[in-house]
């Protein structure tokens, strides 16, 4: 195990030259904060990859649960793990920047601590990048629920033709954790912008494209993206405002001072807790997964109904019961027809 010193923060870097020693092909970077429930699955999915020539940089971002103990045990068992512990939580963008600076790989592969990589993910993404000169590679994915059950395949990402337009309309071009990025261009572009508490991946992809990045999404699900319940509107509201900031930067070319003022306002709102608590979040969660399974044509036709039944169990109203009957009837119709009817994207 390689031990890196505790603590310290990393500012936003741009156009700096970092020495890369002992160059290898891939540095996998994962930041985790209080992720004890799922982090072992994420770690196993990387350590068991068919491609073996990588280092696995894991940053514990000030966890207060048993996460760091889990990381220590893994680092002691596999020399490819480079473990770093922050004394306090600094947020995902700055934590990832620490990992990028430490990294010695030609490519940076991301991994989120509550997701899972398919065991051939690194091999397939690297082969594509090397053969085609791609700078930013992602993939389609499987959607999984909080218990690890597969909801459906999401094949939408590889069908996107306008990456910039998609990102500026608050939609991802692939899951953040599925990314493989050419490190040289990533450093040249300035790495992650720590001002973006949310949507930091979309902002970085836009900036990479402004630096000429060649982007490709592989038409193969190489990543298991876990959808988790949310109890407040904090993330949703902040993402909408951050999306507006991206439009200010990459469409309006707004004055940097105006952009900074808006970002400061967003961060102040987040710190002040200006968001609403979601009533009965588990009902909404299961219902959203039912719709996700239906619209993405889950392989098992019963999957949408299974999640709908879970939502119904959480419902406490008569109107909710009739609402679920309506969904049950809709699910009998071809999803393509319903998508066209409601202009679903």
Q: pLDDT for 150-204, tens place per residue?
A: 999 999 999 999 999 999 999 999 999 999 999 999 999 999 999 999 999 999 9
Residue-level pLDDT at 337: 86
User: Which of helix, strand or coil describes residue 109?
Assistant: strand
Q: State the pairing for strand pair 2-3/81-86.
A: parallel
**pLDDT confidence band for 5 (50 / 70 / 90):** very low
Q: Could you tell me which of 87, 57, 92 has the C-alpha nearest to residue 75?
A: 57
Q: Where are the alpha helices (DSSP H) in the chain?
A: 39-47, 67-77, 92-102, 121-132, 163-168, 183-189, 200-210, 234-250, 256-272, 281-295, 303-314, 318-330, 335-342
In this predicted model, what pLDDT tens digit does every residue of 99-117 receive, in sequence order?
A: 999 999 999 999 999 999 9
pLDDT at 273 over 90: no
* Rounded CA separation 92/193 (Å): 10
Asked whether the whole model's pTM tops 0.75, one would answer yes
In this predicted model, what pLDDT tens digit does every residue of 275-333 receive, in sequence order?
A: 899 999 999 999 999 999 999 999 999 999 999 999 999 987 877 788 899 999 999 99
Residue with tokens 């947020």: 91
Extents of the domains making up the chain? 2-226, 234-272, 281-336
In this predicted model, what pLDDT tens digit does every residue of 222-238 receive, in sequence order?
A: 999 999 999 999 999 99
Q: What class, spelled out in words, does domain 2-226 have in CATH? A: alpha beta
In this predicted model, what pLDDT tens digit does every residue of 77-96 receive, in sequence order?
A: 999 999 999 999 999 999 99
**Residues 6+ positions from 1 with CB-CB distance below 8 Å:** 75, 76, 79, 81, 82, 83
Name the more confident of 117 and 271.
Answer: 117
């Amino acid at each position: 195990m390689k031990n890196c010193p505790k603590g310290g923060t990393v500012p936003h870097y741009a156009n700096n030259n970092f020495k890369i020693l002992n160059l290898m092909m891939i540095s996998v970077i994962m930041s985790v904060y209080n992720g004890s429930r799922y982090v072992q699955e994420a770690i196993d999915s990387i350590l068991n990859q068919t491609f073996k020539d990588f280092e696995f940089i894991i940053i514990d971002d000030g966890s207060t649960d048993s996460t760091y103990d889990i990381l220590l045990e893994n680092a002691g068992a596999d020399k490819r793990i480079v473990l770093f512990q922050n004394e306090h939580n600094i947020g995902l963008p700055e934590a990832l920047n620490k990992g990028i600076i430490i990294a010695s790989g030609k490519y940076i592969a991301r991994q989120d601590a509550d997701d899972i990589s398919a065991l051939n993910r690194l091999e397939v993404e690297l082969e594509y990048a090397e053969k085609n000169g791609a700078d930013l590679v992602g993939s389609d994915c499987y959607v999984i629920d909080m218990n690890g059950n597969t909801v459906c395949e999401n094949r939408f990402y590889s069908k996107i033709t306008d990456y910039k337009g998609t990102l500026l309309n608050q939609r991802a071009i692939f899951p953040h954790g599925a990314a493989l990025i050419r490190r040289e261009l990533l450093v040249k572009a300035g790495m992650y912008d720590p001002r973006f508490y949310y949507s930091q991946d979309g902002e970085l992809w836009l900036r990479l494209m402004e630096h000429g990045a060649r982007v490709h999404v592989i038409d193969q699900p190489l990543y298991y993206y876990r959808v988790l319940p949310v109890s407040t509107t904090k993330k949703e509201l902040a993402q909408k405002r951050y999306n507006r900031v991206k439009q200010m930067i990459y469409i309006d070319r707004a004055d940097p001072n105006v952009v900074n003022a808006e970002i400061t306002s967003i961060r102040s709102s987040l710190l002040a807790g200006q968001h609403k608590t979601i009533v009965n979040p588990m009902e909404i969660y299961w219902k959203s997964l039912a719709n996700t399974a239906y619209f993405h044509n889950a392989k098992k036709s019963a999957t949408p109904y299974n999640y709908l039944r879970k939502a119904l169990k959480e419902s406490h109203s008569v109107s909710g019961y009739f609402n679920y009957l309506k969904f049950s009837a809709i699910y009998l119709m071809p999803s393509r027809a319903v998508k066209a009817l409601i202009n679903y994207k």
